[in-house]
Amino acid sequence: MSIEKTKLSVILASLPRVMKVARRINAAFRQHLEAGSGIIQVRLKDNSVARHYILRDGRIDTAKGLHADPDLDIAFVDAGVALRFLHPNPDQGDIVHFIKNYQVEMVGDDAVGVWFATLVKKMQSGMWKQGGKMPDSTIRYVTNTNGGPVYVFVRDGRIIRTTPIDLAADDPESWTIHARGRSFTPRRQATVNVHALSMKSVVYSERRLKYPMKRVDFDPDGDRNPQNRGKSGYERISWDEALRIVAGEIKRQKTQHGPGSISILHGAHHQMGNVGYWLSALMRFSNIVGATMMEFSPISWEGWYWGAQHHYGNSLRLGLPGAYGTLEDCLKECEMIVFWSSDPEATSGLYGGGEGTQRRLWAKELGVDFVHIDPHFNSTAQMLGGKWLPVRPTTDSALAHAIMHVWITEGTFDQAFVEKHTTGFEDWRAYILGESDGTPKTPKWQEDETGIPARDVVSLARQWARKKTYLAAGGLGTGFGGACRSATGQQWARNMILLMAMQGWGRPGVNFGNLQCGVPLDGTTYFPGYAEGGISGELNKTAAAINNFTRMPHVLTMNPVKQRLPRELSMEGIRDGHCSGYAWDGMSLETQFAKVDYPMTGYSKVHMLYQYGASSFGTTMNSSRLIDMYRDPSVECVVNQAIWQEGETQFADIILPACTVVEREDISEVCGCAGFAHHNQSQMNHRMIVMQHKCIEPLWESKSDYRIFTEILTRLGFGSMYSEGCDEIDWCKRVFQSSDIGRHISWSEFLKKGYVVLPPQLEDARDPVYMRWLHEDGKKNVPEPHPLPGDYSGEFLDGLQTQSGKIEFLPNSLRRGDPDNPERPVLNRYLPAWEGRTTADLARKYPLQLVSSHPRYSFHTQADGKGSHVSEIRDHRLTVDGYAYWIVRLNARDAAERGVAAGSLVKVYNDRAAVICAADVSPLVARGTVKTFESSAEFDFVIGSDGKVLDRGGCMNLLTPSRTQAKGTRAIAPNSCLVNIDRWDGVWGAA
Amino acid sequence: MMADLKWNMVVDVALCTNCNNCVVATQDEYMGNAFPGYSAPSAPGVKVMEIDRHVRGADAMVDVSYVPRMCQHCDDAPCVRQGDEAVVKRADGIVIIDPAKARGRRDLVNACPHGAVVWNDVENVPQIWTFDAHLLDQGWSAPRCVQACPSGAMAVHKVTDADMAARVEKEGLTVWDPQAGTKPRVYYRHLDRVTTHFIGVQIHAGEGDGEINVSGAEVELTLDGRRVMAARSDAFGEVRFDGLADASSGYAVRISHPDYPADTCVVEGALTESRVVTVKLGR
């Protein structure tokens, strides 16, 4: 026998001894051992080495040679492969390689395979210590949220409190920016949003889904009663029955209808993490099942993706500008910040906690001027003060044109920059001056449209030209949300780029931003963001291919179903059996012109909806449409896997209760997205990577999403393939090992402490300022791997992604891809909204314009409703007669005309639906505008006598139009929404 | 001497953004947690801390201030007087309603002139913001609300009364309702944003396409003909005279600019709230 074979025999023979030691000292191992049983056989393919293990009732027995009837047979091609595979600290690349090339084969009962692989892993992972013991006998864990990381203090398996994390003295030093004779250093805390601090209230919410449930009149083997979805009640069933029904239905769907009939639907966000995230665990599940996935529109980027990017590129940011170096440049140079539909104090950028607040207060201390263009005197305006220009919703582009008119007629724009770095300006100039269409876009011209006095436009334009100005467009300052989500959203975003082009974008003190991004952090230390797909193995619909897939070897997964259901049209797709959208794909400017047709030739139409989470009524336009979708007779089965009974959970046939992020392990970077939001963590004052501890055991009968997927797939024989023999903690370690943070902290220390802070960039090695290279005629010099090399028209790093390599006033990509579209013209002319004050008939009936922004206090539906602390915040929901109503904000005069008193209930309505809200009456909203937030988690409805939905949960998107911003796009336009408001004196239920 | 050190809180109204971290951090601390001797568990809807909104101005000249309100830990607290043994004033200045002794004491809710005592129906006790005394006693350096505040609007100081008095004097701190005479240990900075008014002036000139904001005008505020303060109009032709107390009628603004004839505008009526006046020059 060779030395390797001898060695293997010895190792296999000694394994039971090692396991017996583990059984004695390792509680997690012992529990797992006692929870399962099986006969596992390990051998070389030629049977020259063979041994089997009989594991039953916690006993460990073994014998040399083959077993007559093993539950699981593991066969290695040779002893060398076996030794490397069985190594206590194996090379994960080896393991994946051996599996992919059939050098190791596992045959038998998949459930035993998953159980045994996990058992082996627990010999190590069961000994890992998580969290730290505190003097008051609590254990201090850490988790991460969409609103920042928190310490979680636990005693006797119960969460006592959650607090923001103050950096320790031995965490790396913070950065300092020297500007205008002052030094600015951030507070040493990872600041959080209020929805992060509400964690405990939603974890222990009475609205948690506690057990698997089945709709009482859903019989998978008989009458399914789809018409009763949203009406009938539920009965508790066992996990065994739930999994049997779901796995059985997956099989039945595929057998009966063929590929494509199962559709997996989900929201845009999940609780933070790299393992449990929808782009990770769910994507891996979807690919292995083979499912029709949704085609999203980038719904917070809309106008930038479908519009702005055509002028200057940045498709790999979905049209948003980058922010490198802008914090320091802004603090040193900037004299005025124009916040245009930009309320970072409300929206916290994206996952930014309270990080930007202190920096904006520095700008105030420095005497920077502020202007706020927004129909709402918003939270940021309230904090900073400055000039408020209450523009009418959807008319912002007219204001932008008039500003440019002043600059052109007064010669106060950067003519040298325009000449050198842009194309098409002459045509643009002729349009603005009215030479080409007879209408000069003067300040007076815009007055009737926008409601902004012409004199204020002149003042603004002159100040802007005179002062070094940052344009804060959207919540991030570099786009995102707000005005880009209306019928005129892409016009507006396009104008933002053109304004900056005329003022010499990249010149010191002239850039995009609102101090939310561009912090001098070190971006070179690699840690994956959630958009990198985590454990998904999906290379095309995540950013895994860039780093994750090579850094964390794991088995590739591919979805054989190429059919996709455009999210905003999924209701029509189900109802009518067909629909069409356009692609979300940032690889180039051109990919968005591709049509996405449902159904795709050859695939089955959808007959099963596997809904993940329950946010759609609060987040999908004209969302009454969902009711018909769920009740459509062609939908044979609806599964809802969710944490809480809320939103659309009430429309499911089978409910699978998932646990929250604090009841399972995960790992993530605070504010870390990667992908289309590359270096998103530059919103943070300190880069922080978090071990998301399993702080408590899953409550009631809930299970982690990963566990649910594993158990469904194990019933179909895919469990080992899905899990790769890993529990969530094992995946966390694999993510840790795939990153660079091992240079800063060991795995065991990371597990105990729960986070690591990465040092900032050295002061003299900070990133250059965004677009400075263009301004200075240099080559691109910021650490942003965009555009793709093939998208440079000239030399590598020379110029922009556009055909000319310059900022194009009349984009070539639109000329080529969509040349004759009257709703998205090549020349970005002003087109009034298709739902707004100029649609006179509708406006007479519904004279108020509803603006529903990203919510301030909840993260979309997360932390809203369900008895959360957030729902008791006066400015989020208002409790009237014991019910917490959503809030609409309206001008005192609009309220008075309708007899609406502050704090009273009102009915907000149009032809689509009606929502009962509580009124906040003040002068802080311009006349004619109603300001609210989107993303109510509560959908509490009746169907009125007019057949329309009447909701008191607060789903304002019941009212918003589902029409796309412009032909040729799939851009949502919720901020083009006319409504009226009446006092609500009705009695709920008596309607 | 250590025994002389007492807790005080300072809230900067100018820095409060209404983010509600203080409110929710406090709810988080007491939800489901009993701290014997300090506090019974909280209950849904029972909030011992709230943020009040104060809006000033009209049209497009407005401002907003937020004032976190909670137990003021008064040195001359009516609740302590009325509470007998149930409400205790500790040596470090903190007021505690003993959750065991105060069972059923609904009367204590009305004892507080600041409205800071709330009733918890589930636990059948009156409750206040305890300064998170149970945490301070364990060595925490600040209560939850202070730690959770991202803008630094809240701070606590454990100092002697003499040192605090000096700070109050130096920093111009005030208390919420001095008339109540209860000697609060919670102080506010920039509370004048709530207690005083502003007069906003918008100045423009010209007609039609020629209408412009007049910047750089010298604007003087007078009360009964006496100069109160003066400022130049900004790029948008605006001036804000802030910090004005309630006054009967008598305010006026005088505007002078080299390009226009001087103008005076009387602020009609009594000043009981912030006002915005628009002046068109050259008529």
Mutation to test the A interface, candidates B12, B24, B52, B59, most A Cβ within 10 Å: B24
CB proximity A335 to B under 8 Å? no
Q: Quote the pLDDT of residue A64.
A: 97
Q: Which two tokens stand for residue A223?
A: 């009458």
**For residue A255, what are the contacts with CB-CB under 8 A and spacing of at least 6?**
none
Find the range with the poorest average confidence among A732-736, A883-887, B8-12, B247-251.
B247-251
C-alpha distance from residue A657 to each of A217, A267, A668 (Å): 20, 17, 23
Q: pLDDT tens digits, residue range A293-303? A: 999 889 999 99
The mean predicted confidence, pLDDT, of chain A is 97
Instruction: Give the DSSP H/E element, type plus range, for residue A120.
Output: helix A110-125
* Partner residue opposite A459 with nearest CB, options B33, B55, B236: B236
Q: Quote the pLDDT of residue B208.
A: 84
Q: Which of residues 522-581 of A touch B (CB under 8 A)?
A: none
Task: Give the span between the Cα atoms of A274 and A542, in whole angstroms.
Answer: 12
* Residue of A107, A95, A105, A122 whose CA lies nearest to A36: A122
Q: Quote the pLDDT of residue B209.
A: 82
Tell me whether residues B150 and A857 touch, CB distance under 8 A. no
Tell me whether residues A161 and B144 touch, CB distance under 8 A. yes
* Partner residue opposite B20 with nearest CB, options A194, A453, A456: A194
Q: Where are the beta strands (DSSP E) in A685-783?
A: 687-692, 755-758
Q: Decide if A885 contacts A903 (C-beta within 8 A).
A: no
Tell me whether residues A442 and B53 touch, CB distance under 8 A. no
Confidence of residue B2 (pLDDT cuts 50, 70, 90): low
Q: Side chain identity at B4, as an amino acid letter?
A: D
* Residue of A964, A963, A966 whose CA lies nearest to A826: A966
Between helix A454-466 and helix A443-450 the angle, nearest 10°, is 120
Q: For A702-715, what is the mean pLDDT?
A: 98
Q: For A845-864, what is the mean pLDDT?
A: 97
**For residue B1, what are the contacts with CB-CB under 8 A and spacing of at least 6?**
none
Instruction: Give the DSSP H/E element, type plus range, for residue A449.
Output: helix A443-450
Q: For A495-506, what is the mean pLDDT?
A: 98
Task: Give the span between the Cα atoms of A940 and A230, in whole angstroms.
Answer: 10
Task: Give the span between the Cα atoms of A188 and A668, in whole angstroms.
Answer: 20
The yes-or-no verdict on residue B137 having pLDDT over 80 is yes
Q: For A841-853, what is the mean pLDDT?
A: 97
* Partner residue opposite A357 with nearest CB, options B17, B24, B51: B17
Q: Decide if B124 contacts B155 (C-beta within 8 A).
A: no
Q: Quote the pLDDT of residue A356.
A: 98
The conformation of residue A611, written as its DSSP 8-state character, comes to E
Tally A–B CB contacts below 8 A: 139
Tell me the nearest-neighbour CA distance from B62 into chain A, angstroms.
7
Q: pLDDT tens digits, residue range A958-980? A: 999 999 999 999 999 999 999 99
Q: Which of residues 759-798 of A touch B (CB under 8 A)?
A: none
Tell me whether residues B58 and A923 touch, CB distance under 8 A. yes
Q: Quote the pLDDT of residue A517.
A: 98
CB proximity A192 to B under 8 Å? yes
Q: Side chain identity at A350, as an amino acid letter?
A: L
Q: pLDDT tens digits, residue range A205-225? A: 999 999 999 999 999 999 999
Q: pLDDT tens digits, residue range A526-549? A: 999 999 999 999 999 999 999 999
Q: Where are the beta strands (DSSP E) in A167-226?
A: 177-179, 182-184, 189-190, 213-215
The yes-or-no verdict on residue B125 having pLDDT over 60 is yes
Q: What are the chain A neighbours of B242 within 8 Å (beta carbons)?
A: none
What is the SS3 assignment for A276-292? CCHHHHHHHHHHHHCCE
Q: For A98-123, what is the mean pLDDT?
A: 96
Tell me the nearest-neighbour CA distance from A390 into chain B, angstroms.
7
Q: Is the ipTM of this complex over 0.95?
A: yes
* Residue of A68, A396, A272 whose CA lies nearest to A690: A272
Tell me whether residues B18 and A875 touch, CB distance under 8 A. yes
| Minimum Cα–Cα distance from A158: chain B residue | B32
Percent of chain A with pLDDT over 70: 100
Higher pLDDT, A154 or A945: A154
Q: What are the chain A neighbours of B60 within 8 Å (beta carbons)?
A: 388-390
Task: Give the span between the Cα atoms of A817 and A587, in whole angstroms.
Answer: 15
CB proximity A458 to B under 8 Å? yes
CB proximity A440 to B under 8 Å? no
Q: pLDDT tens digits, residue range A602-649? A: 999 999 999 999 999 999 999 999 999 999 999 999 999 999 999 999
Tell me whether residues B27 and A355 touch, CB distance under 8 A. no
Task: Give the span between the Cα atoms of A589 and A792, in whole angstroms.
Answer: 12
The yes-or-no verdict on residue A991 having pLDDT over 60 is no
Cβ–Cβ contacts within 10 Å for residue A594, how many?
Answer: 11
Tell me whether residues B151 and A353 touch, CB distance under 8 A. no
Q: Decide if A317 contacts A586 (C-beta within 8 A).
A: yes
Q: pLDDT tens digits, residue range B189-207? A: 999 999 999 999 999 999 8
The yes-or-no verdict on residue A455 having pLDDT over 90 is yes
A288 burial (CB, 10 Å; 0-12 / 13-18 / 19+) is: buried
The yes-or-no verdict on residue A157 having pLDDT over 80 is yes
Question: Quick one: residue A87, left, alpha or beta (phi over 0 = left, psi -120 to 50 = alpha)?
Answer: beta
Residue A807 phi, psi (nearest 5): -75, 125
Confidence of residue B283 (pLDDT cuts 50, 70, 90): low
* Residue of A366, A926, A389 whose CA lies nearest to B238: A389
Tell me the nearest-neighbour CA distance from A167 into chain B, angstroms.
12
Tell me the nearest-neighbour CA distance from A457 into chain B, angstroms.
9
Cis status, amide bond into A599, omega within 30 of 0 = yes
Coil/strand/helix, residue A337: strand
Q: pLDDT tens digits, residue range A918-929? A: 999 999 999 999
Tell me whether residues B213 and A455 touch, CB distance under 8 A. yes
Rounded (10°) CA dihedral A812, A813, A817, A823:
-80
The yes-or-no verdict on residue B3 having pLDDT over 90 is no
CB proximity A439 to B under 8 Å? no
Q: Side chain identity at B152, as an amino acid letter?
A: G
Residue whose pair of structure tokens reads 């209230």 in the numeric block: A201
Q: Are strands A262-266 and A292-295 parallel, antiparallel or unpaired?
A: parallel
